[in-house]
Structure 1
Amino acid sequence: MHINLKLTAAALALFVASQGAFAQVKKKPVVSPKNKPAAPEAQIKAAVLPTDKNVIIGKLPNGITYYIRQNDLPQNRAELYLVNKAGSILESDAQQGLAHFTEHMAFNGTRDFPKNALVNYLQSAGVKFGADLNAYTSFDETVYQLPLPTDSVKVFEKGFDILANWAGYVSFDQAELDKERGVVLEELRLRGKNAQERLQLQTLPVLLNNSRYASRLPKGKEDIIKNFNLATIKSFYEDWYRPDLQAVIAVGDFDPKRVEELIKQKFSGLKNPAGEKPRTEYSVPATPGTIVKFATDGEFPYTLAQIIVKHPKTNVKTTTDYLQNMRVALFNQMLNARLNELLQKPAPPFLYGSASYGGFLANLDAFSSVVVARPGELEGAVKTLVAEIERARKFGFTLTEFERAKQNALIQIGNSWKERDKTRSVNFVGEYQQHFLTGQAIPGIDYEYSFYVSNINNITLAQMNALAGKFISDQNRVIIVEAPDKEKDKLPNEATLLSWINTAGKTVTPYVDNVSTKPLMEKIPEAGTITDEQKDDSIGVTNITLSNGVKVILKPTNFKNDQVVITGYSFGGTSLAADQDFTSASFAGQVVSSSGVGEFNQIQLDKLLTGKNVTINPYISDNTQGFSGNAAPKDLETAFQLINLYFTQPRKDLDIWQSSISQTKSLLANRGLDPGSVYQDTVSAVMNNYNPRAMVPTVEKLSAASLDKAFDFYHKRFSDASNFTFTLVGSFNVLSIKPLLTTYLASLPSSNSKETFKDLNMYPVSGQVTKTVYKGIGDKSNVQLVFSGDYQYSEDNNIQIDALEEILNIKLTERLREQESGAYAPGVNAHYNKTPKSKYSITVSFGCAPENVDKLIAATLEEINKLKQNGAVQTDIQKFAAEDLRSTQVQLRENYFWTGYLAGGSQNQEDPHRIMYHDKTVAKVTVQSTKEAANTYLNGKNLIKLILMPEKK
């Protein structure tokens, strides 16, 4: 259950910056020229887009709309959604925050499911609260999601009772409501009470032009949440939860006729209120000219600028809308490709930059450009971003850029079309939701693919080059600058900022497209041979050993039509780097992965791979090195060529090295301002026995790091292929893939070194330890309780820890959330590993009010003691078993699951058949076994308490 704010520009910038400045855009699968569906006429006339014939759309006499689609993936599963055209925008002054509170109350008692009966029932059916069973509230809608099994008719059909109860029969029990006040306030504390929230309160009134949207944030007002009465929230529910504003969406593996009967049966009795209120459509008034807003906060670690130009929204309903949508997507792709190239300079002009045209809010679209500056370099960042946009406006795009963008667009739509019979049910829900909320067309993938193939070449370069001029304007424009308080004196004034923007790009020259026409691999290697082959028909696996010692695990599947997942590993990793070389070694995998291969730098390589569905990335972790990636079957040879080249011809790129070091230094500059980062640094230190390798690198260590050392370390890690095991899972034939294995893997250099990792003793500290970090002005605390110790790695022990994790999750949600009303989302995370040494840790984490820290820690330990004394109650064991077995059923038809299962099993030398008797392993979880597990793994001998508290005043 959460709040959804559809204001993504700043959030996206911050997210990318916090994740590191070196993320790479993954390539999408390519269109096969074979078996294309028939295309519509080439000449486009404005016509209403058709509605996908595979979805049943109906409306009951009371106004409820429904969407039904039969879909087989995942098997025996369905997605049921209730969509309400009612969000925080409809709240009265006295109801601010109650749209979101209503969503909470729907889980706390309805006519047919009093108090917590609904959550209990669904957990017993294998539906996980929070992960599967959830909801969100936004400005304009509230949406409930209910994924259910369909192999139990009783459970599945009960789902429509639940949706109907949410739609019209929430009970609003006074005692439950009063308990939920604390839970909602804790959710607001968890998601807010931080720099981002404080900055948002400064900037949203400007961005939303003091419209109703600016005063109706879904989170509401704390004093109202604490003090509203029952009548106030019931009036919101009765006014706005009504059939003519509701839709039921059902997609899954079921009989659609039966589902339609159930919807009519369960929802026809709902009635609209007498004298219903009109559902007003609110807007954000246009702003003449440009408004500039500066906002700072003492805990904000970045300096960023946003330029937002608002435009009337276009909902795609006609063929001309769709064609324009295609143009916009091509424009966004080409412009951001240019901005991403700038990050590969030795001294990148910004930490992150993006610009795109898309949906905004309240019937508006926007051209939003965002740049996160390096410390002290806001002027250069803003000017570079604006200049790049101005370059596109002045000179347009090149023909080669345009052709690549069209290929990538066809790749994307083609992949969706190829997988049309393997599309997960949840993927359809969003489309139907938007059709109900905004009228956006749902023509279906057959039509969309046909339209793309037939019309993409009707889009001209001149049309594309005119878009920037349409998007860019100094009218209805808002410019926002956010920065740390300490940078306030260095920020420009409004006139200076506008002069940067107005003069940027005055001297730009046309973009030069740097492409190479050489083949990826000039000379095909001399092939090796297969020396051993073992088939295991019970799990559909073939194990192959090549002449140079490389091992390959192959599992052909039909789970996807156009996907092969590839991983490879060998032991060693940065554990083999000397302490003085560790910083250099820690960058080795990332830098080489971003530097291209052979004669091609990364920019050239990305362009060379246009039209191919292939992603291969080398990596070096603590204890292993290897590869991760995927490819379409037709591009497997390219994938193997990339693997071979990353072994034999990795590229040493000084620009990428300098960019990586420079960006990392910039991210460190203000890291200490953010309470979460400071807290996490302490957590990492304690959890890794204060090993310097677990600490954030200092500027001095970064300055002392060397590309030569990093590149030499990479070479050593990939010099002996005999230690490598590769796993391939997906749409391929074992016989046809063998020539690729012998040519590109069996030809790799090998010395049979039998190298392995070193144990560096990076484990949680022993004994009972409490570390309290005092940082931050927000009224919020974070707590982690970590139990750890030695472990005997086995399938039986693993399932007991898994059960302990889930049962403790259930108990702490009941205790800390429902009973104490003290934490919104307490979580338990169990981790166990066999390498480098068999160890386990179980971490309980929650956020709460500072004054409740001790009370909630005591409550947590009390629940743990109950488990140690009595074991779990049988109903909680049944909930764990139901969730585990149902999730396993779905995973067994996923390529990524099998890749991890087979590769992980290889690393840990586990029985590859263990999945076949998994249900019997789960059955070993009993009341007695959970008692024994609690006493073994939660004994408290090694207990670390990690607490974040606000700064002492």
Structure 2
Amino acid sequence: MHNKNGLISAVVLPLLFLLLSIQASTAQQAGNVPLTDTLPMDGTVVRGRLENGLAYYIRHNEEPKDRVVMYLATKVGSILETEDELGLAHFLEHMQFNGTKNFPKNELVNYLQKAGVRFGSDLNAYTSFDETVYQLPIPSDDPELLKNGLQVLRDWAQDALLDEEEIDKERGVVLNEMLGGRGAEQRMRDQYLPMILNQSRYAKRLPIGTKENIEGFAYETLRDFHRKWYRPDLQAIIIVGDIDVSEMETQIKTLFSDLKNPEQEPTRDEYEIPLTGKNQFLAVTDPEMPQTVVQVVVKHPEAKVRTVADYRMQLSKSLFNQMAGARFAELTRQSDPPFIQGGGSIGGFLRGLDAFTMYVVAKPGEIKRGFESVVTEFERIRRYGFTETELDRAKSNFLTGLESAYAERDKRKSQSYVDSYLNHFLEGERALSNENRYQLGKQLIGTISIEDVNALGKQYYVDHNRDILILAPDKDKDSLPDETAVTGWMTEIKDADLAPYDDNMQDVPLLETPPQAGTVSKRVEKPELGVTELTLSNGVKVVMKPTDFKNDEIDITAFSPGGTSLYSDTDFLSAAYAASVVGGSGLGPYNATQLTKYLSGKNVSVQPYIGELTEGFRASSGKKDLPTAFELIYAYFAVPRLDMDVFHGYMQRIKASLANRLDDPDAVFADTINAVLYHNNIRRTSMTVEQVDLIDPQRAYEIYKERFADATDFTVTIVGSFTEDEIMPLILEYLGGLPNVGRKEAARDLGIYPPEKGLERTVYRGKEQKSSVRLYYFGEYDYSEDENMQLDALESILNIKLIERLREAESGVYGVAARASYTKYPRHRYSFSVAYGTSPDKVEPLMKSALDEINKIKQNGPEQVDIDKFVSEQKRVLEVQLRENSFWLGHLSGSYQNNEDPAYILRYLDELSNVTVESVKAVANKYLVEERLFKFMLMPEAQ
């Protein structure tokens, strides 16, 4: 139900153009593998093609257990549309959820929700230029549901009803989806796409279509599009999960063999973007564009991955991109960085093309400096290449990732297999088996020389088929450079005297003095949870849960009460940014750049944080690098750094990113909401450019050291693939050796809460005729396990009712979301919100409808069928979560933070029976109180 095409949906994010691309190699042999050999196809997937042309891919995989992912892919997208069919490929995708032969009206969504499948997050689809893909992840332990899942795919393949009443209702939904995407990005995109796409058909076939056509197309035009293109010779079924492959293949043959191709089927033409050999330039401005972005796109013919040589070149490009990224990360750490963001890479572009892309997000008034810095670095790369030490680090990082993926090959998620097979069907690229990917990677990476990688800079950074695009705020229009100026800058850089890159490295111990190990003073076993709780001699509490969910994944988190709440408003910003400033400065003898190099080839990450109520750290590691993870954790307590160059550079980039923030209507709307709810409190409002200067680096450093000066009240949670014997020496040395001064702290209740009585505010901002609505309820809360469950149920049920009413019945929104949240500390509080976007004329009617649905639940309680959907969803979601390290990490840490029994999760499914019509009705009346209702509306400016 969403638009997958990144080029269209987020055009001002430069790296969305940069997908990994492929190129043939001139080498003849790599290790024992002839480079001319065709890449092997994954032999563990059962593939076939029915007589009618339908392709299928089936694979057994038990991650997650008792689940299966089903996809229908069809090579039909907006590129096939005629002028009177604009937007119909995407519209047809919508209609597949509004009535098929075996699931009329909205029965498909209704049926699957009863089975615990969530509409939008589970059940979904996308339409792009060249394909439409439907996804259905469902439980596989229910034979009836599994059978009906296949029937859903069969209906999607050719049996959409396309009822006239449903078509007319869906027009409003699609128009609201179109409306939600309108703004500065869309207005600018409409101007630059013809240039970027070389005036090709792609520039005229955006999947969303046109307002005029969506409003006025004839019913028969949609049906004719469906008959022409929804046919088995353009379709594939992809099924991966905990299933019997042989039985599934038999069912596919039985169910799909009668699909028919049209008697006079039109040819499915392939379209490409022609290369003209010319260079192009365009500057586009908009009053709501908050930043200046420059992109240089050098287009090249697409190189497919067909042979081992192609795969070797793919790896070479990956190494090139990794090393270029490291160079630009280093530039951002300067005391006066030349840009907010900058970089570039070699990657995929769009149908038939690859591209070398450079981009810069410039500081206000510094477009020339930012642009020149990016071009200069790539000119340095083109002229001198990368160094052997840079390549060694890149290869080391690649091999670490390769080894990690291979170690998890029996725990690989079904979805990732689906993605590989989908790419094979749509693009014709080989899907490698886990074994082949590992063996080829190991053999090929060692054959890639520094000359191979450096040759890519000269091959891809050329002076033809080059587009230069500038996107900027309207107010900067008169100061933007023209094409002559920009090409002049590039010429000057090519003629400039540049020094080679200096790869400054050092190799010294991170810790000069090892910590003094502690001991275990208390041990508590919780066998029902598989948890061991330790209290160390310095007061640190350690909660350990070894698991077999992954083979090489260990996640760690820690918290200590206090956070920024212990500091005055004067110190707040310094406290809030303290962990970011210190975390970005390096550790001990290593600055940030040197630390990155020191950690190359290691599967480890450690990040300190300071929140409002707690401080602590988050870490992850593989088994091999677990000692490094613990060493880093200890170092963030013992030898933190303050790098003033990093600090000043970080502050400059923050200031630059905030300079035009208020040109964005959504930013103004969010600021207004927070200002009204929290009385302009500095802790709840977005930072301004002027406030950046309130961040004192020395005070931030002092606060950081204060927060991490005492580990007495830290609770550390460790979940993953370790044994107690393996990890205990590290725990005793690095956690047991943390400082202990015995202080007792608690977070402060700052008393920053919304008014007790609701109110209404309207913000007038924005050029487009679109609106946003936010409804909030706030107040004191009776915090308990049961109350939380009831409020969660209310959220889920209200989401169902609001989608049925505002989207399906009234066609007034594309999406609507109800959200509940609750806190135990520092005070028992709740918030409940409803958010949606629509046209200005529908703001009031839809608000009345939303409040009417709330009142229905308050007056009559929810329908039992919606409670059943909530219970089913919770059961199915929890089944998967209980096999995930990330879930247990969050659950255990959260339970200890809230002083709750973590074993509650084992009772949760049984206690779902406590959710009844009357209990949800009671919680709705208790918390969705009319006098506590806050209404916020964003309306367009008067034209």
The TM-score bracket by the shorter chain reads over 0.9
- What is the 5 A alignment of 1:604-623? 604-623=594-613
TM-score by length of 2: 0.97
From 503, 511, 536, the counterpart of 1:513? 503
Q: Deviations over 1:519-558 (max 9, x none)?
A: 2223321111110111111110000000010000000000
From 128, 144, 156, the counterpart of 1:154? 144
Instruction: Tell me which residue corresponds to 1:858.
Output: 848
SS of residue paired to 1:864: helix
1:735 maps onto 2:756 in alignment:
no
Instruction: Tell me which residue corresponds to 1:20.
Output: none
Change in CA separation of 1:908 and 1:359 when aligned onto 2, cut-off 3 Å: same
- What is the 5 A alignment of 1:564-643? 564-643=554-633
Change in CA separation of 1:550 and 1:641 when aligned onto 2, cut-off 3 Å: same
Give distance in 2, aligned partners of 1:682 and 1:121.
Answer: 41
Whether the 8 Å contact between 2:718 and 2:889 is mirrored in structure 1 is yes
Q: Which amino acid aligns with 1:239?
A: K
From 258, 282, 288, the counterpart of 1:269? 258
Q: Which runs of 5 or more residues in structure 1 are unaligned?
A: 17-38
Q: Deviations over 1:725-746 (max 9, x none)?
A: 0000000011221111111111
Instruction: Tell me which residue corresponds to 2:7.
Output: 7
Give distance in 1, aligned partners of 2:695 and 2:617.
Answer: 24
From 426, 437, 440, the counterpart of 1:451? 440
Give distance in 1, aligned partners of 2:762 and 2:76.
Answer: 43
Q: Deviations over 1:901-941 (max 9, x none)?
A: 00000011111110111112211110111110110111223
Q: Deviations over 1:233-284 (max 9, x none)?
A: 1111111111000000000011111111111111111100011111111011
SS of residue paired to 1:559: coil
- What is the 5 A alignment of 1:228-627? 228-505=217-494, 506-627=496-617
Give distance in 2, aligned partners of 1:199 and 1:546.
Answer: 59
Whether the 8 Å contact between 1:795 and 1:921 is mirrored in structure 2 is no
From 98, 101, 105, the counterpart of 2:95? 105
Whether the 8 Å contact between 1:10 and 1:306 is mirrored in structure 2 is no
Give distance in 1, aligned partners of 2:678 and 2:551.
Answer: 43
Q: How far did 1:42 drift? A: 3.1
Instruction: Tell me which residue corresponds to 2:50.
Output: 60
Q: How far did 1:689 drift? A: 4.5
- What is the 5 A alignment of 1:759-908? 759-908=749-898
TM-score by length of 1: 0.96
Whether the 8 Å contact between 1:182 and 1:822 is mirrored in structure 2 is yes
Instruction: Tell me which residue corresponds to 1:166.
Output: 156
Q: Deviations over 1:377-413 (max 9, x none)?
A: 1001111101111110000110100000001111122
Q: Which amino acid aligns with 1:303?
A: T
Whether the 8 Å contact between 1:4 and 1:218 is mirrored in structure 2 is no
Whether the 8 Å contact between 1:558 and 1:731 is mirrored in structure 2 is yes
Q: Which amino acid aligns with 2:343?
A: S
Whether the 8 Å contact between 1:251 and 1:428 is mirrored in structure 2 is yes
SS of residue paired to 1:370: strand
Whether the 8 Å contact between 1:13 and 1:370 is mirrored in structure 2 is no
Q: How far did 1:14 drift? A: 6.5
Whether the 8 Å contact between 1:300 and 1:484 is mirrored in structure 2 is yes
Whether the 8 Å contact between 1:375 and 1:669 is mirrored in structure 2 is yes
Instruction: Tell me which residue corresponds to 1:19.
Output: none
Instruction: Tell me which residue corresponds to 2:919.
Output: 929
Q: Which amino acid aligns with 1:530?
A: V
Whether the 8 Å contact between 1:689 and 1:763 is mirrored in structure 2 is no
Q: How far did 1:9 drift? A: 11
Whether the 8 Å contact between 1:287 and 1:477 is mirrored in structure 2 is no
Q: How far did 1:715 drift? A: 0.8
Q: Which amino acid aligns with 1:486?
A: K
Whether the 8 Å contact between 1:382 and 1:501 is mirrored in structure 2 is no
How many pairs were matched up? Answer: 930
Change in CA separation of 1:8 and 1:390 when aligned onto 2, cut-off 3 Å: farther
Whether the 8 Å contact between 1:13 and 1:352 is mirrored in structure 2 is no
From 730, 734, 739, the counterpart of 1:749? 739
Q: Which amino acid aligns with 1:370?
A: Y
Q: How far did 1:354 drift? A: 2.2
Give distance in 1, aligned partners of 2:694 and 2:879.
Answer: 51
Give distance in 2, aligned partners of 1:12 and 1:637.
Answer: 41
Q: How far did 1:156 drift? A: 1.2
Q: Which amino acid aligns with 1:359?
A: G
Q: Percent identity?
A: 47
From 81, 98, 108, the counterpart of 1:91? 81
Q: Deviations over 1:329-350 (max 9, x none)?
A: 0001001110111111111111
Whether the 8 Å contact between 2:14 and 2:295 is mirrored in structure 1 is no
Instruction: Tell me which residue corresponds to 1:668.
Output: 658
Give distance in 2, aligned partners of 1:388 and 1:848.
Answer: 45
Q: How far did 1:367 drift? A: 0.9
Whether the 8 Å contact between 2:11 and 2:189 is mirrored in structure 1 is no
Q: Deviations over 1:406-445 (max 9, x none)?
A: 0111112221111100011011111111100111011212
Give distance in 2, aligned partners of 1:762 and 1:944.
Answer: 16
Give distance in 1, aligned partners of 2:808 and 2:692.
Answer: 47
SS of residue paired to 2:600: coil
Give distance in 2, aligned partners of 1:456 and 1:13.
Answer: 31
Q: CA RMSD in A?
A: 1.4
Instruction: Tell me which residue corresponds to 1:28.
Output: none
Q: How far did 1:611 drift? A: 1.4
1:708 maps onto 2:698 in alignment:
yes
Runs of 4+ in 1 over 6 A off after TM superposition: none
Give distance in 1, aligned partners of 2:676 and 2:151.
Answer: 49
Give distance in 2, aligned partners of 1:333 and 1:278.
Answer: 41
Q: Which amino acid aligns with 1:373?
A: A
Instruction: Tell me which residue corresponds to 2:24.
Output: none
Q: Which amino acid aligns with 2:651?
A: I
Q: Deviations over 1:771-825 (max 9, x none)?
A: 2111100111111100111112111011101100000000000000001100110
Q: Which amino acid aligns with 2:139?
A: P
Instruction: Tell me which residue corresponds to 2:133.
Output: 143
Give distance in 1, aligned partners of 2:695 and 2:96.
Answer: 55
Which region of structure 1 is more displaced relative to structure 2, 280-289 or 64-73? 280-289
Whether the 8 Å contact between 1:96 and 1:216 is mirrored in structure 2 is yes
Which region of structure 1 is more displaced relative to structure 2, 681-690 or 283-292? 681-690
1:693 maps onto 2:693 in alignment:
no
Give distance in 2, aligned partners of 1:14 and 1:669.
Answer: 20
Instruction: Tell me which residue corresponds to 1:34.
Output: none
SS of residue paired to 2:34: coil
Q: Which runs of 5 or more residues in structure 2 are unaligned?
A: 17-28
Q: Which amino acid aligns with 2:225?
A: F
Give distance in 2, aligned partners of 1:195 and 1:752.
Answer: 55
Q: How far did 1:615 drift? A: 0.2
Whether the 8 Å contact between 1:80 and 1:251 is mirrored in structure 2 is yes
SS of residue paired to 1:722: coil
Q: How far did 1:848 drift? A: 0.3
Give distance in 2, aligned partners of 1:15 and 1:189.
Answer: 25
SS of residue paired to 1:355: strand
Q: Which amino acid aligns with 2:477?
A: K
Give distance in 2, aligned partners of 1:243 and 1:726.
Answer: 55
Q: How far did 1:363 drift? A: 1.2
